[in-house]
Structure 1
Amino acid sequence: MPFQWTGNARNRAEQDISASELTVLIVDDDRFFREMAAALLDGQGLVVVGDAADGAAGIEQACRLRPDVVLLDIQLPDLSGFEVCRILVDAGLQVVLCSAREASAYGPLVARSGARGFISKTVLSPQELTRIIES
Protein backbone atom coordinates (compact mmCIF):
# COMPACT_ATOMS: atom_id res chain seq x y z
CA MET A 1 0.00 0.00 0.00
CA PRO A 2 1.50 3.38 -0.96
CA PHE A 3 2.32 5.87 1.73
CA GLN A 4 -0.53 8.32 2.27
CA TRP A 5 0.59 11.78 3.35
CA THR A 6 -1.83 13.05 5.96
CA GLY A 7 -0.68 16.65 6.34
CA ASN A 8 -2.70 19.42 4.71
CA ALA A 9 -3.47 17.43 1.57
CA ARG A 10 -6.94 18.17 0.24
CA ASN A 11 -9.17 16.86 -2.52
CA ARG A 12 -11.13 19.39 -4.63
CA ALA A 13 -14.26 17.31 -4.20
CA GLU A 14 -13.92 17.36 -0.41
CA GLN A 15 -12.60 20.87 0.21
CA ASP A 16 -13.23 24.37 -1.02
CA ILE A 17 -10.14 24.94 -3.16
CA SER A 18 -9.78 28.27 -4.92
CA ALA A 19 -9.76 28.14 -8.71
CA SER A 20 -6.43 30.01 -8.56
CA GLU A 21 -4.78 27.23 -6.55
CA LEU A 22 -3.03 24.47 -8.49
CA THR A 23 -3.52 20.93 -7.22
CA VAL A 24 -0.48 18.66 -7.13
CA LEU A 25 0.03 14.90 -6.88
CA ILE A 26 3.53 13.78 -5.84
CA VAL A 27 4.80 10.45 -7.21
CA ASP A 28 8.14 9.36 -5.74
CA ASP A 29 9.43 6.18 -4.12
CA ASP A 30 11.25 8.11 -1.37
CA ARG A 31 8.83 8.67 1.51
CA PHE A 32 11.01 11.41 3.00
CA PHE A 33 11.03 13.32 -0.29
CA ARG A 34 7.23 13.00 -0.63
CA GLU A 35 6.75 14.38 2.89
CA MET A 36 9.29 17.18 2.38
CA ALA A 37 7.89 18.13 -1.03
CA ALA A 38 4.31 18.12 0.27
CA ALA A 39 5.26 20.35 3.21
CA LEU A 40 7.19 22.68 0.90
CA LEU A 41 4.55 22.91 -1.84
CA ASP A 42 1.28 22.89 0.09
CA GLY A 43 0.32 26.55 0.30
CA GLN A 44 1.45 29.56 -1.74
CA GLY A 45 -1.08 28.79 -4.47
CA LEU A 46 -0.44 25.02 -4.54
CA VAL A 47 -2.48 22.31 -2.85
CA VAL A 48 -1.01 18.81 -2.51
CA VAL A 49 -3.94 16.44 -2.98
CA GLY A 50 -2.08 13.15 -2.61
CA ASP A 51 1.00 11.10 -3.24
CA ALA A 52 2.10 7.69 -4.46
CA ALA A 53 5.22 5.56 -3.96
CA ASP A 54 5.38 3.89 -7.38
CA GLY A 55 4.26 4.28 -10.95
CA ALA A 56 1.18 2.05 -10.81
CA ALA A 57 -0.16 3.80 -7.70
CA GLY A 58 0.72 7.16 -9.28
CA ILE A 59 -1.33 6.38 -12.37
CA GLU A 60 -4.28 5.23 -10.24
CA GLN A 61 -4.12 8.30 -7.97
CA ALA A 62 -3.71 10.69 -10.90
CA CYS A 63 -6.70 9.27 -12.76
CA ARG A 64 -8.82 9.33 -9.60
CA LEU A 65 -7.78 12.76 -8.26
CA ARG A 66 -7.23 14.56 -11.61
CA PRO A 67 -4.70 17.05 -10.18
CA ASP A 68 -3.63 20.10 -12.15
CA VAL A 69 -0.07 18.74 -12.19
CA VAL A 70 1.72 15.52 -11.31
CA LEU A 71 5.23 15.94 -9.87
CA LEU A 72 6.76 12.69 -11.09
CA ASP A 73 10.09 11.14 -10.14
CA ILE A 74 11.91 9.57 -13.08
CA GLN A 75 13.39 6.68 -11.06
CA LEU A 76 10.52 4.54 -9.75
CA PRO A 77 10.68 0.94 -8.51
CA ASP A 78 8.08 -0.57 -10.85
CA LEU A 79 7.86 1.56 -14.00
CA SER A 80 10.06 4.17 -15.58
CA GLY A 81 8.92 7.71 -14.86
CA PHE A 82 9.02 8.25 -18.62
CA GLU A 83 6.54 5.39 -19.09
CA VAL A 84 4.24 6.79 -16.41
CA CYS A 85 4.56 10.26 -17.93
CA ARG A 86 3.39 9.04 -21.35
CA ILE A 87 0.36 7.34 -19.78
CA LEU A 88 -0.57 10.43 -17.77
CA VAL A 89 -0.06 12.85 -20.67
CA ASP A 90 -2.19 10.59 -22.89
CA ALA A 91 -4.87 10.80 -20.15
CA GLY A 92 -4.79 14.60 -20.45
CA LEU A 93 -2.77 15.35 -17.31
CA GLN A 94 0.12 17.78 -16.95
CA VAL A 95 3.36 16.28 -15.67
CA VAL A 96 6.55 17.85 -14.34
CA LEU A 97 9.38 15.35 -14.11
CA CYS A 98 11.81 15.51 -11.20
CA SER A 99 14.99 13.78 -10.17
CA ALA A 100 17.98 14.16 -7.91
CA ARG A 101 19.98 14.14 -11.14
CA GLU A 102 20.05 17.01 -13.60
CA ALA A 103 17.93 16.84 -16.76
CA SER A 104 21.08 16.49 -18.87
CA ALA A 105 21.66 13.04 -17.31
CA TYR A 106 18.65 11.78 -19.27
CA GLY A 107 19.69 13.17 -22.64
CA PRO A 108 16.77 13.77 -25.03
CA LEU A 109 14.32 11.65 -22.99
CA VAL A 110 13.03 14.60 -20.95
CA ALA A 111 12.36 16.71 -24.05
CA ARG A 112 10.56 13.80 -25.76
CA SER A 113 8.55 12.76 -22.69
CA GLY A 114 5.56 15.05 -23.18
CA ALA A 115 6.11 16.54 -19.72
CA ARG A 116 5.60 20.28 -19.16
CA GLY A 117 9.13 20.43 -17.84
CA PHE A 118 11.73 19.14 -15.45
CA ILE A 119 12.76 20.27 -12.00
CA SER A 120 15.73 19.08 -10.00
CA LYS A 121 14.81 17.99 -6.48
CA THR A 122 17.53 20.32 -5.20
CA VAL A 123 15.71 23.42 -6.50
CA LEU A 124 12.11 22.37 -5.93
CA SER A 125 9.99 25.28 -4.76
CA PRO A 126 6.39 26.44 -5.20
CA GLN A 127 7.62 29.30 -7.36
CA GLU A 128 9.68 27.07 -9.67
CA LEU A 129 6.92 24.50 -10.08
CA THR A 130 4.37 27.25 -10.82
CA ARG A 131 6.75 28.86 -13.32
CA ILE A 132 7.11 25.57 -15.23
CA ILE A 133 3.35 24.99 -15.31
CA GLU A 134 2.54 28.53 -16.42
CA SER A 135 5.22 28.68 -19.12
Structure 2
Amino acid sequence: MTSRVLIVDDHADFRRLARALLEPEGVEILGEAGRGRDALAMVAALRPDAVLLDVQLPDLDGFAVCRAIRAAWPAVRVVLCSVRPTAAYGPRYAECGAHAFAAKDELTGPAVALMLGPGGPAST
Protein backbone atom coordinates (compact mmCIF):
# COMPACT_ATOMS: atom_id res chain seq x y z
CA MET A 1 0.00 0.00 0.00
CA THR A 2 1.35 3.41 -0.97
CA SER A 3 1.51 6.07 1.72
CA ARG A 4 0.14 9.50 0.86
CA VAL A 5 2.35 12.06 2.57
CA LEU A 6 2.49 15.79 3.27
CA ILE A 7 5.97 17.29 3.75
CA VAL A 8 6.19 20.25 6.15
CA ASP A 9 9.42 22.23 6.49
CA ASP A 10 10.20 25.93 6.20
CA HIS A 11 13.22 25.20 3.96
CA ALA A 12 12.37 24.50 0.32
CA ASP A 13 15.68 22.67 -0.14
CA PHE A 14 14.75 20.17 2.56
CA ARG A 15 11.29 19.67 1.07
CA ARG A 16 12.92 18.90 -2.29
CA LEU A 17 15.35 16.49 -0.64
CA ALA A 18 12.57 14.69 1.25
CA ARG A 19 10.55 14.38 -1.96
CA ALA A 20 13.59 13.02 -3.81
CA LEU A 21 14.18 10.44 -1.05
CA LEU A 22 10.56 9.33 -0.70
CA GLU A 23 9.18 9.17 -4.23
CA PRO A 24 11.56 6.37 -5.33
CA GLU A 25 10.28 4.39 -2.34
CA GLY A 26 6.74 4.51 -3.73
CA VAL A 27 5.54 7.28 -1.41
CA GLU A 28 2.99 9.63 -2.98
CA ILE A 29 3.71 13.25 -2.02
CA LEU A 30 0.36 15.04 -1.80
CA GLY A 31 1.86 18.45 -1.14
CA GLU A 32 4.32 20.60 0.75
CA ALA A 33 3.93 23.32 3.35
CA GLY A 34 6.40 25.76 4.87
CA ARG A 35 4.36 26.88 7.88
CA GLY A 36 2.43 25.10 10.61
CA ARG A 37 -0.93 26.78 9.92
CA ASP A 38 -0.62 25.92 6.22
CA ALA A 39 0.14 22.32 7.19
CA LEU A 40 -3.03 22.08 9.28
CA ALA A 41 -5.13 23.46 6.43
CA MET A 42 -3.52 21.03 3.99
CA VAL A 43 -4.08 18.05 6.28
CA ALA A 44 -7.76 19.02 6.50
CA ALA A 45 -8.05 19.37 2.72
CA LEU A 46 -5.84 16.51 1.51
CA ARG A 47 -6.26 13.93 4.31
CA PRO A 48 -2.77 12.40 3.99
CA ASP A 49 -1.87 9.08 5.57
CA ALA A 50 1.20 10.67 7.13
CA VAL A 51 3.04 13.94 7.65
CA LEU A 52 6.82 14.45 7.67
CA LEU A 53 6.96 17.45 10.00
CA ASP A 54 9.87 19.74 10.90
CA VAL A 55 10.08 20.71 14.57
CA GLN A 56 11.20 24.30 13.89
CA LEU A 57 8.62 26.23 11.87
CA PRO A 58 8.22 30.01 11.65
CA ASP A 59 4.69 30.27 13.05
CA LEU A 60 3.92 27.20 15.18
CA ASP A 61 6.40 24.67 16.42
CA GLY A 62 6.13 21.12 15.14
CA PHE A 63 5.02 19.84 18.53
CA ALA A 64 1.94 22.08 18.48
CA VAL A 65 1.18 21.11 14.88
CA CYS A 66 1.58 17.42 15.75
CA ARG A 67 -0.77 17.71 18.73
CA ALA A 68 -3.38 19.46 16.56
CA ILE A 69 -3.12 16.84 13.82
CA ARG A 70 -3.35 13.95 16.28
CA ALA A 71 -6.39 15.54 18.01
CA ALA A 72 -8.34 16.20 14.80
CA TRP A 73 -7.12 13.29 12.65
CA PRO A 74 -5.84 10.54 14.98
CA ALA A 75 -5.19 8.09 12.13
CA VAL A 76 -2.61 10.40 10.51
CA ARG A 77 0.92 9.27 11.31
CA VAL A 78 3.30 12.12 12.13
CA VAL A 79 7.06 11.76 11.82
CA LEU A 80 8.88 14.69 13.38
CA CYS A 81 12.26 15.65 11.97
CA SER A 82 14.97 18.01 13.14
CA VAL A 83 18.66 18.79 12.89
CA ARG A 84 18.76 18.23 16.67
CA PRO A 85 18.54 14.79 18.29
CA THR A 86 15.35 13.62 19.98
CA ALA A 87 16.94 14.05 23.42
CA ALA A 88 17.26 17.81 22.82
CA TYR A 89 13.49 18.14 23.10
CA GLY A 90 12.99 16.26 26.35
CA PRO A 91 9.42 15.29 27.14
CA ARG A 92 7.94 17.52 24.42
CA TYR A 93 8.61 14.82 21.82
CA ALA A 94 7.03 12.03 23.85
CA GLU A 95 4.00 14.14 24.79
CA CYS A 96 3.02 15.37 21.32
CA GLY A 97 1.86 12.01 19.97
CA ALA A 98 4.34 11.67 17.10
CA HIS A 99 4.63 8.27 15.49
CA ALA A 100 8.42 8.53 15.09
CA PHE A 101 11.37 10.93 14.96
CA ALA A 102 13.94 11.28 12.16
CA ALA A 103 17.20 13.18 12.48
CA LYS A 104 17.61 15.19 9.28
CA ASP A 105 21.26 14.26 8.87
CA GLU A 106 20.38 10.56 9.00
CA LEU A 107 17.47 10.57 6.57
CA THR A 108 17.31 7.83 4.00
CA GLY A 109 14.43 7.07 1.70
CA PRO A 110 13.83 3.53 2.96
CA ALA A 111 14.01 4.52 6.64
CA VAL A 112 11.60 7.44 6.34
CA ALA A 113 9.25 5.49 4.05
CA LEU A 114 9.12 2.76 6.70
CA MET A 115 8.35 5.30 9.45
CA LEU A 116 5.64 6.96 7.37
CA GLY A 117 4.10 3.78 6.09
CA PRO A 118 1.36 1.66 7.60
CA GLY A 119 2.70 -0.64 10.25
CA GLY A 120 5.91 1.38 10.56
CA PRO A 121 7.68 1.60 13.88
CA ALA A 122 5.99 3.49 16.66
CA SER A 123 7.97 6.17 18.43
CA THR A 124 10.10 5.08 21.34
**Common topology (TM > 0.5):** yes
In structure 1, stretches of 5+ residues that fail to align are 1-19
Higher relative contact order (CA 8 A, sep 6+): 2
2:25–2:113 Cα contact (<8 Å) kept: no
TM-score (structure 1 length as normaliser): 0.81
Give 1:124's match in structure 2, choosing from 107, 110, 120: 107
Structure 2 distance, partners of 1:63, 1:128, is: 26
Q: Which residue of 2 aligns with 1:34?
A: 15
Asked if 1:57 corresponds to 2:38, the answer is yes
Structure 2 distance, partners of 1:132, 1:36, is: 17
Q: Which amino acid aligns with 1:123?
A: E
Q: CA deviation at 1:79?
A: 0.5
After the TM superposition, which residues 1-135 of structure 1 pair with which residues of structure 2 at under 5 Å, given as runs?
20-92=1-73, 93-133=76-116, 134-135=120-121
Q: CA deviation at 1:109?
A: 1.1
Secondary structure (helix, strand or coil) at the match of 2:48 reads coil
Q: Which residue of 2 aligns with 1:16?
A: none
How big is the alpha-carbon RMSD for the aligned residues of Structure 1 and Structure 2? 1.1
Structure 1 distance, partners of 2:92, 2:111, is: 21
In structure 2, stretches of 5+ residues that fail to align are none
TM-score (structure 2 length as normaliser): 0.88
Following superposition, which runs of at least 4 residues in structure 1 exceed 4 angstroms of deviation? none
Q: Which amino acid aligns with 2:87?
A: S
Q: CA deviation at 1:42?
A: 1.1
Tell me which protein shows more helix as a share of its residues. 2
How many pairs were matched up? 116
Bigger drift between 67-76 and 90-99 goes to 90-99
Q: Percent identity?
A: 44
Structure 2 distance, partners of 1:125, 1:46, is: 13
Secondary structure (helix, strand or coil) at the match of 1:83 reads helix
Q: Which residue of 2 aligns with 1:7?
A: none
Structure 2 distance, partners of 1:31, 1:49, is: 15
